[in-house]
Structure 1
């Protein structure tokens, strides 16, 4: 088996594993997975930024912004009230900062967004054992 074939098989396996995890995840876990994905994309963007790989950096930043958009659309403003509004404002702020980081090639801005998102994720993770979190959509 050539390297290309092996890599293709590994990619297919990874994609299937992710799809299986998504299909079996609770709504709460799906939000955790989105946050983990965004943090991974931001970390990758920082690495590409540091190596001067502009196109790859932009793709990763764009993916992180798309994930933040997904997090915004998952908010339930009716049930979440002020928390949902505050999270939406924070996600919008993070998107703006990612755009600035990409435009200015500023890794400190990527770090700022990662730190903010990590704080939100830690709070989200802390409620993972709450019974309601396993069956209800995001705040």
Structure 2
């Protein structure tokens, strides 16, 4: 990816999006969306050969904490465990990016988050 394209992508995802939360499903949806936006911004920076802005690092880590702590391991053990592992994988990839460590796979984490976010939005539409 050319650095100008990466910069344009970063600028697109770096713009704050207003949100209003009405129910618990929406809280998770907003949190997932913000995590995805920050992870995409960090990925765009990585592809441009730079380290992403600290505010996106902080937002992503906060969103991961919220998502991990909201999982119900008693009622949905299998899916809760899988989601916890996905969020943990994402957290580790974000930290590797920030530390500029080799062997990170932020792109895979972003793709997985896109899938999870899409599925969560679809679930919300069927519940409304």
Structure 1: 5+ residue stretches without partners: 1-13, 135-139
Of 34, 39, 45, the residue aligned with 1:37 is 34
Q: Is 1:116 aligned with 2:107?
A: no
Q: TM-score, normalised by structure 2?
A: 0.71
Task: Select the structure that is richer in helix.
Answer: 1
Q: 1:3-18 counterparts in 2 under 5 A?
A: 17-18=18-19
Q: Is 1:100 aligned with 2:96?
A: yes
Q: Is 1:58 aligned with 2:49?
A: no
Which protein has the larger Cα radius of gyration, Structure 1 or Structure 2? 1
> Where does residue 26 of structure 1 map in the other structure?
23
> Where does residue 127 of structure 1 map in the other structure?
123
> Residues 61 and 29 (structure 1 numbering): CA distance in 2 closer, same or farther, change over 3 Å?
same
Q: TM-score, normalised by structure 1?
A: 0.66
Structure 2: 5+ residue stretches without partners: 1-15
What is the aligned-residue RMSD (CA, Å)?
2.5
TM-superposed CA distance for 1:51, in Å, is 6.7
Q: Is 1:70 aligned with 2:62?
A: no
TM-superposed CA distance for 1:112, in Å, is 1.8
Question: How many positions carry a matched residue from both structures?
Answer: 111
Point out which structure has higher relative CO (alpha carbons under 8 A, 6+ apart). 1
TM-superposed CA distance for 1:104, in Å, is 1.9
